[in-house]
Structure 1
Amino acid sequence: MFRTLELSERKTVLSFDSGCLVVSGNDDRGGYVLLDELDAVILMEPAVRISGVLLAELANRRIPLIVCDRRYLPSGLLCPLYREGREFFHVMEHQLRAAKPLRKRLWRSIVCAKIAGQSANLKVFRSDRSLERMSRLVCSGDSSNLEASAAHRYWSGLGLFPRRDRMADNANGMFNYVYTVLYAAVARRICSAGLNPHIGLHHRNQDNPFCLASDLMEPFRPYGDSVVLTLLRDDPDRWRLTPDRKAELMRGLHGIRLSCNGKSLGLFDAVGRMVISYKHALEKNDADLLILPRMLGDE
């Protein structure tokens, strides 16, 4: 069973010993992880220290090392230069050469999943079924731009922002916080899968180094929305984004269970599953290989 190791505590020291990644430096709390069990290592905290020997071993074993900045977005990627390092460029070639019909079918699937999630939120929080049919009307490449039409109907139906006042600004801050967490999570998984984050599917912007993250996070936005909407419903007088509120939002995100191809996964595991399936879809030129999240019971 391969796994991604994320390290977020300051003063952590990483080294190599007898085929293992050794974690130490935090109040005598440490551990060992077999390198053969890892598919990626992500340094969430820039203050983590790592030995040169471990860096070489990670490169030799084709295990990507992603370094994140203070916003938890990837700022660097260690990629092998020789032999197995060619896989990185092989994957990038598939991204660059993806045929337009494939890209359009993939984008249609992503938009359908996003609208289906928005429809579920409207039904749960406003007893509004106006978006139920729209996800089935999306054309290849969303040529009719139903994503934008659905978004307008979705936010109007939620009725959270009828005017620009302090309460609306505070609620908007909570949504933005959740989106930032999701965006960073998708960006990290993209890098750990060996995909080039700059090569987007639908978003194209030379000033955005994570165009692909902007694309692949879209189906997860409604699940982030549901966490915020639940807090606002349960405690309507506390809309300000405080540290305690952030902790509540993170607990809500970690508590979400989604169905991915018939398997129940946590939200962040579902992100990883979707990113890997996107890579496979490009390699096999088959949009049906993309595994998108759904609420449990909706399949």
Structure 2
Amino acid sequence: MSKKVLEISQSEYISYFLNSLIVKSNEKRIIVPISQIDTVLVSNPRCNISVPLLNELVAQNVNIIICDSKFKPTVQISPIQGYYSNKNFLNQINWSKDFKGFVWREIIKTKIVNYTKLIYYLDITSEEEIDKLIKYYESVLINDRSNCEGHAAKLSFKILYGANFSRDDENIINTFLDYGYTVLMTYVSRSIIKNGLDNRIGIFHKSFNNHFALSCDLMEPLRALIDKLVYTHIYIYGKKDFILFKKDLFCMFEEKIAIKNTKLSVNEYIDKIVKSVINNNLICEDFIIEWS
């Protein structure tokens, strides 16, 4: 049974009782077993959360996302220790430059091919531009030294959203993309912590101020999933309803996608990527999404 995504948009207090999350709102009392919850999204900036509830949600690996007064996700609550052993972390701090260079190449190849296949599936461009994307994919080097990722991303955005589109603009497309990418990062972060890695130690992303460096790395092959959802809402459905987009976004993580003749939920796909890095067997061909 698929677990629930619970959004707290009106209640001003949620608490814990008998393995359940208790929502109090307008003298009503709603009880949700924590075992049935995948994610808690707190979008009411006035909501108070009890400490026992936070501890139990973290203990049961529930993704906890808190939004600011503009309803943008700004906080993810994660356990300090999410794994029974330090083995994976000890291996992580000893990742070599060669290992990181190889993994980053495979991540970028996967990202580019997933976007290429998405654009081909949507049938929104010429064979010439598809060939350009394929060339970028074939040209990715160790550490992506020639920045094929940047060139492919620029072309992909142009094809999807138009020649004048810029990620710096304030518009509905970027609002949807920013929200979607941020939520995606929290799901990747949860898997990273669950598998005993440290989010602050990245493969490519490096910054003293980025506490989610590894999430930023490992989410790259999945970004096309967010773009597919955004493109579908705006250009196929012709809708700019943020509430509907948000609902479909969270449902997406339990939906099945086709990978190498098998079907995995997006959550399972995320776990598979994280474990492949741990096991040093991340190969692009194992993570290509067959769109449908």
Distance 1:54 1:235 in 2: 39
Corresponding letter in the other structure for 1:9: S
What are the Cα deviations for residues 210-240 of structure 1, in whole angstroms up to 9, with x where unaligned? 222322332233333334444554588x8xx
Q: What aligned pairs does 1:62-141 form with structure 2 within 5 A after superposition?
A: 63=61, 66=64, 68-70=66-68, 71-79=72-80, 87=84, 90-123=87-120, 124-128=123-127, 129-130=130-131, 131-141=133-143
What are the Cα deviations for residues 240-281 of structure 1, in whole angstroms up to 9, with x where unaligned? xxxx4324544664567532454445xxx51x3343234323
Residues 107 and 201 in structure 1, CA contact (< 8 A), matched pair in contact too: yes
* Equivalent residue for 1:142, pick from 127, 141, 144: 144
Residues 15 and 50 in structure 1, CA contact (< 8 A), matched pair in contact too: no
Q: CA deviation at 1:62?
A: 6.5
Which residue is 2:42 aligned to?
A: 44
Q: CA deviation at 1:126?
A: 1.6
Corresponding letter in the other structure for 1:192: R
Distance 1:94 1:2 in 2: 33
Q: CA deviation at 1:202?
A: 1.2
Q: What aligned pairs does 1:198-237 form with structure 2 within 5 A after superposition?
A: 198-231=200-233, 233-234=235-236
What are the Cα deviations for residues 196-216 of structure 1, in whole angstroms up to 9, with x where unaligned? 333222111222332223223
Residues 67 and 77 in structure 1, CA contact (< 8 A), matched pair in contact too: no
With 218-227 and 42-51 compared, the bigger mean Cα shift is at: 42-51
Residues 175 and 225 in structure 1, CA contact (< 8 A), matched pair in contact too: no
What SS is found at the alignment partner of 1:161? Answer: coil
With 4-13 and 147-156 compared, the bigger mean Cα shift is at: 4-13
What are the Cα deviations for residues 170-196 of structure 1, in whole angstroms up to 9, with x where unaligned? 7x6233223322322233224423143
Which residue is 1:15 aligned to?
A: 16
Which residue is 1:186 aligned to?
A: 184
Q: Does 1:246 align with 2:242?
A: yes
Residues 14 and 49 in structure 2, CA contact (< 8 A), matched pair in contact too: yes
Distance 1:292 1:15 in 2: 39
When residues 47 and 103 of structure 1 are mapped into structure 2, their CA distance, relative to the original with a 3 A threshold, is farther
Which residue is 2:174 aligned to?
A: 176
The root-mean-square deviation of aligned C-alpha atoms, in Å, is 4.0
When residues 139 and 161 of structure 1 are mapped into structure 2, their CA distance, relative to the original with a 3 A threshold, is same
Distance 2:256 2:201 in 1: 29
Give the TM-score normalised by structure 1.
Answer: 0.70
Residues 274 and 291 in structure 1, CA contact (< 8 A), matched pair in contact too: no
Q: CA deviation at 1:48?
A: 4.5
Give the TM-score normalised by structure 2.
Answer: 0.71
Q: State how many pairs are aligned.
A: 274
Distance 1:293 1:31 in 2: 40
Corresponding letter in the other structure for 1:23: I
Distance 2:108 2:284 in 1: 16
Structure 2 unaligned segments of length 5 or more: list them. none
